[in-house]
Amino acid sequence: MAFKDRILFTHDTWSLTIVRVFLGLVIWPHGAQKLFGWFGGHGPAGFMDAFQQVSGLPGWLGWLVIVVEFIGAICLILGFWVRFWGLTILALFVGIVLTVHLPNGFFMNWGGNQAGEGYEYHLLIIGMAWALVVGGAGKLSVDQSMANQERKF
């Protein structure tokens, strides 16, 4: 099986479709906050300042975060290159946990009694992304259509 075929192949199941669409719907508003300042976000300038201050990483990596969260989420919803975008989201959220949330412990800061947010939410995102990397896009996806088209020729 060619590399392209392995990337596009997906199991013909609704469960992957549900995971992919909901992961995209959860991630996309975060990208929109960073890129456009929507949903109470601070836009690119505000995000870049916070990103560099909190993570200590170079600004160009902040732009990669925006691309993954905004464009990657749209691609997930559509089912386009799902394994690639799932892997980038997985890597992004592992990085977020390691650079920001690990010292805060496991639990979210529901009571406001810890220094920051824990990483439990991030583990859910990592698990969903991993499922897509392994299983593919599922039904009603561009990947499935492209894979089926390739098989016809």
Taking CA 101 as the corner, what is the angle to CA 104 and CA 113, rounded to the nearest 5 degrees?
35
**How many CB atoms within 10 Å of residue 152?**
5
- Give the model confidence (pLDDT) of 114-141 as tens digits: 888 999 999 999 999 999 999 999 999 9
Domain that holds residue 72: 3-30+60-152
Residues 6+ apart with CB under 8 A from 135: 10, 11, 13, 16
User: How many domains is the chain partitioned into structurally?
Assistant: 1
The answer to whether residue 142 sits within a structural domain is yes
The answer to whether residue 44 sits within a structural domain is no
The answer to whether residue 48 sits within a structural domain is no
The answer to whether residue 67 sits within a structural domain is yes
pLDDT given for residue 132 in this prediction = 97
Two tokens, residue 92:
């992004």
Model confidence band, residue 110 (pLDDT cutoffs 50, 70, 90): confident
The answer to whether residue 136 sits within a structural domain is yes
The answer to whether residue 88 sits within a structural domain is yes
pLDDT given for residue 71 in this prediction = 98
pLDDT given for residue 150 in this prediction = 59
Contact 138, 11 (CB under 8 A): yes
CA 49 – CA 15 distance, rounded (Å): 38
- Give the model confidence (pLDDT) of 41-99 as tens digits: 999 999 999 999 988 889 899 999 999 999 999 999 999 999 999 999 999 999 999 99
The answer to whether residue 55 sits within a structural domain is no
The answer to whether residue 135 sits within a structural domain is yes
